[in-house]
Structure 1
């Protein structure tokens, strides 16, 4: 069973051996370490699923296993580290893998003690537990590392408690905050952290990251990279939930427009309403929104995206979004159907009817 800081179907970031496509962020951290400018708090930002948590755990291993850079001594200075990589058999790496490293604490959402259900927020008690962690571990004078994943999950009380620690950081402590939407954090928290911005993965890096996660995409990798926005986490979800096949079914439905293939639409709608299909249903809604966004962007720019996410998609998008006016119509449809889908899910409307109504609205836009 996955934890709140783990993508379903993917290895935990703690167990991910290599980080792909984020060399700039790694080099920025190594430069700060080597030049004695190691900040006490780091904010790791970027889209969900691109490796922020993997980088946080790699930094934690590195800091706990690597002595600080010192001036030349009797035998000269130690070589400046050029990589965050730590050998798997290193004692620190082995303890972290076993969840037994005393110098590391991970803050994530926790179960409620009254209901035993996972909370949807990091609460103040989760942050206050750090005080005991720092007090109990201060005696040996070693380095301490805290990973907060995700900082976006903190409620107001938890955020204020963390802010106090950032204002008066414990000695030799480093806090690593993972954030998918840093604009939602307190400005005072952001201002007390040094930011490492991570970017979306290329198709090549995506292929290597998927292979490491045990997902053999091969020829599907470019389409997965395109639909996921370069997020390996999103690509894994697409792969596990047959997202490419669902997107292909959507494009075949709009390919027939202005003729509406009601049978194909009904098949897609009924699949979304099947028992136990909640995850696939949510993905279908996201893919519908993505398809409409790609139509709107094609009309606005005058050209379809460079990479097809389904066979024949470029021709379909170009035909249905021939002008900027068409692009604006698709953007309006995306806004309207998105609001309706969100409302429908909130009030538990019949998902089959919701999907079918959305596809009919798309058909009307194509003929309008």
Structure 2
């Protein structure tokens, strides 16, 4: 079972040895370290699933395993480090892997002790625990590292408690805050952190990340380049791509594209098949993904109409030609954008009030068909 700071189906960021596609962010941190400008708090930002937590754990290993840089002595100082990588057999790396490193504290959402159910927020007690961590471990004078994953999950009291620590940071402490939506954080928290923004991944880097995680994406859709299709649909997020892969998202998207290929002729049997799959017992995750893929398909239709250009990478067989036919001009693009807004709002409302998933999906697909007819 995954933890709040772990993507379902992927290794924990602590156990991910190599980070792909984030050389710029890594080098920025390394430059700050080697030039003596190491800030006490760092905000790691960017979309979900692109490696922010993996980078945080790499930084933590590096800081705890790397001695402070020294001035030139009689025999000269050792050369500064050129990488954040730490030998997995290093004592610090081994302790972190075992969850036994005293200089590291990871803050995530925790179970409610009364109900034993996972909270949906990081609460103030989670942050206040850091005071004890710093006090109990300050005697050896070593470096301390805190990872907050994700800072977006903090409630107001927790955010204010963390702000006090950022205003008066403990000596030799480094706080690493992971944020998917930094605009939602307190401006005073953002202002006291140095930001490292991570980029989305290319298809090549995503393929390497999949290989490292031991995930075979396969290709049951006939698109030819499953990794490229996953990169396209996930927006360069490994986490989102892993979810797509595990939930058979490429095939679902291909089924959606096949359904609209014959519009305005509506294949009701194929639509019913999609609707019934989303309504199966225990299929909540697949239902949610189906609505996300419908929204994505409509967005790609709207973009094709607005720009006059079909996507450069097909995420399903025949997608480019289908989008070009159904969205030939800007007027069509505006119509698809409007239906995307309407169906998205209806889907969110339907899920919230527990409407029949099959009826909700079928109604959405019929509205798409009507838009093509109109």
Q: TM-score range by the shorter chain?
A: over 0.9
User: Contact between 1:269 and 1:355, CA under 8 Å: does it hold in 2?
Assistant: yes
Runs of 4+ in structure 1 deviating by more than 6 angstroms, as ranges, are none
Cα distance between partner residues in 1 of 2:63 and 2:331: 55
Deviations 1:223-258 (A, max 9, x none): 000000000000100000000000000000000100
Per-residue deviation at 1:292?
Answer: 0.4
Match among 221, 231, 236 for residue 230 of structure 1:
236
Q: Which runs of 5+ in 1 are unaligned?
A: none
Deviations 1:166-209 (A, max 9, x none): 00000000000000000000000000000000000000000000
Per-residue deviation at 1:217?
Answer: 2.8
Partner of 2:27: 27
Cα distance between partner residues in 2 of 1:39 and 1:225: 33
Partner of 1:132: 132
Partner of 1:169: 169
Partner of 1:193: 193
The aligned runs of 1:97-176 (5 Å cut-off) are 97-176=97-176
Cα distance between partner residues in 2 of 1:228 and 1:308: 13
User: The residue matched to 1:148 in structure 2 has which SS?
Assistant: strand
Partner of 2:328: 322
Q: Give the structure-2-normalised TM-score.
A: 0.98
Match among 272, 275, 278 for residue 272 of structure 1:
278
1:13 aligns with 2:19: no
User: The residue matched to 1:138 in structure 2 has which SS?
Assistant: helix
Cα distance between partner residues in 2 of 1:68 and 1:293: 50
Cα distance between partner residues in 2 of 1:359 and 1:198: 36
1:282 aligns with 2:284: no
Match among 298, 312, 337 for residue 331 of structure 1:
337
Partner of 1:58: 58
Cα distance between partner residues in 2 of 1:183 and 1:73: 46
Partner of 1:48: 48
Partner of 2:357: 351
Per-residue deviation at 1:53?
Answer: 0.1
User: The residue matched to 1:365 in structure 2 has which SS?
Assistant: helix
User: The residue matched to 2:174 in structure 1 has which SS?
Assistant: strand
User: Contact between 1:207 and 1:217, CA under 8 Å: does it hold in 2?
Assistant: no
Per-residue deviation at 1:299?
Answer: 0.5
Cα distance between partner residues in 1 of 2:153 and 2:244: 24
Cα distance between partner residues in 1 of 2:27 and 2:260: 45
User: The residue matched to 1:43 in structure 2 has which SS?
Assistant: strand
Q: Give the structure-1-normalised TM-score.
A: 0.99
Cα distance between partner residues in 2 of 1:305 and 1:77: 53
Partner of 1:3: 3
Cα distance between partner residues in 2 of 1:73 and 1:264: 75
1:73 aligns with 2:73: yes
Cα distance between partner residues in 1 of 2:226 and 2:14: 27
Cα distance between partner residues in 2 of 1:52 and 1:212: 16
Per-residue deviation at 1:74?
Answer: 2.6
Per-residue deviation at 1:68?
Answer: 1.4
Cα distance between partner residues in 1 of 2:334 and 2:213: 39
Cα distance between partner residues in 1 of 2:240 and 2:74: 51
